A = this chain, B = another copy of it.
Amino acid sequence: MNFFFDVTKTDPTGARRGRLTTPHGAIETPVFMPVGTQATVKGLTQGALEELGAGIILANTYHLYLRPGHELIRKLGGLHQFISWRGALLTDSGGYQVFSLSELRKMTDEGVRFRSHLDGSEHLLTPEKAAEIQLALGSDIAMVLDECIETPAPREKAEEALKRTTEWAKRARNYFLEQVTRNGDLPQWQFGIVQGATFADLRRESARQLLDLDFPGYAVGGLAVGEPHELTCEMAGEVTALLPKDRPRYLMGVGRPEQLADYVALGIDMMDCVLPTRAARHACIYTTEGRVLIKNARYAQDQRPLDPNCSCSVCRRYTRAYLRHLFAAGELTAAILATHHNVHFYLDIMRQIREAIEFGNLANFSSEMHARYTLGPA
């Protein structure tokens, strides 16, 4: 298989510099992965993502299964070809989306039965089916189906979800390995997902159970869903302490700009979040001076770039005054430009994080980020 993960350097915090090699390129880690839920990062063309230096993006199994359908994508040569993306792709399993988007969800040991949020049609998503869909999509990294629960969760419910998540992980792994037995090595890595809500012992238990399944990489799921940042970090730390050092760790669905370094310090290698793209569409701009809510009247005559310290193509060319006008006028171009900048901002933080690890200096970087976002203009 054309898959490798190498840790090249560690930082006193526990952070790791590494390189994740996939059939679609090598990715320097820690990495932030822009989210392209429906096979597009909202507001960015694939060319723009390349310009931004994104080496890996996310897509979503639930969405693509429902529309346009994984069989169609398989027939058209897989997701990379369908969207014309030469970089790496990671697909989420759909567990979270079934939980958050679909109607009449019914969870059984077999899988989850749900109605599509698009047309109300009924579907059954099983661990095997989620793995099959992702093999059809041909993503470089596939996630197993897990059971997501509301938080804060009662312990009993968290235990049940953990148990089911492990059972499902076994079935997903078996399905995947059967395909390998049948077809030889597959151009895909399958990652397990550690659950356990906010209970440290359940998190550890979940991790240990998944380790037995020998996944090439492990994700931490069900966090950053409303609990305090410190608790997110505590739970993630419980898990990473148990995970093998030679395999990538992915913290799902994080985070705010000032939090990224904290997660990295816990030994996280991969992260994804809709925040930079979603915030951009809502006129919330991330900058080295803090958040800029660009619709604010104070920016009407502001001839500075969105971020005076940013080197992205938007900051090199356009003013805050112009962006404010575009948002006020409800223009498409507003979302395009703001998204471009925000994604650049996230990817640039990751470049700085990687550099800080090289210099063994991540703790300082992390403090600076928190100060900036606490003290900076709202």
Contact = CB atoms under 8 A, between A and B. Distances in A.
A333 B44 contact: yes
A4 interface: no
B333 A40 contact: yes
Contact of A332 (B72, B326, B328, B332): B332
Interface stretch (A140-148, A194-202, A312-320): A312-320
Interface stretch (A75-83, A124-132, A211-219): A75-83
Given A84-B318, A337-B45, A68 B332 contact: no
A325 B67 contact: yes
A46 B317 CA distance: 9
Interface string A125-159: 00000000000000000000000000000000000
Number of copies: 2
Given A67-B325, A313-B47, A331 B42 contact: yes
A173 to B, nearest CB: 30
Interface string A285-327: 0000000000000001101000000000100011101101110
A326 B40 contact: yes
A332 B331 contact: no
A67 B328 contact: yes
Interface in A64-93: 67-68, 72, 75-77, 82-84
Contacts of A322: 39, 82-84
A326 B67 CA distance: 10
Question: Which of A68, A82, A335 has its CB near the most chain B CB atoms (within 10 A)?
Answer: A68
Contacts of A82: 319, 321-322, 325
Contact of A333 (B43, B67, B325, B329): B43
A116 interface: no
Contacts of A326: 38-40
Nearest to A321: B76
A354 to B, nearest CB: 28
A84 B325 CA distance: 13
Contacts of A63: 329
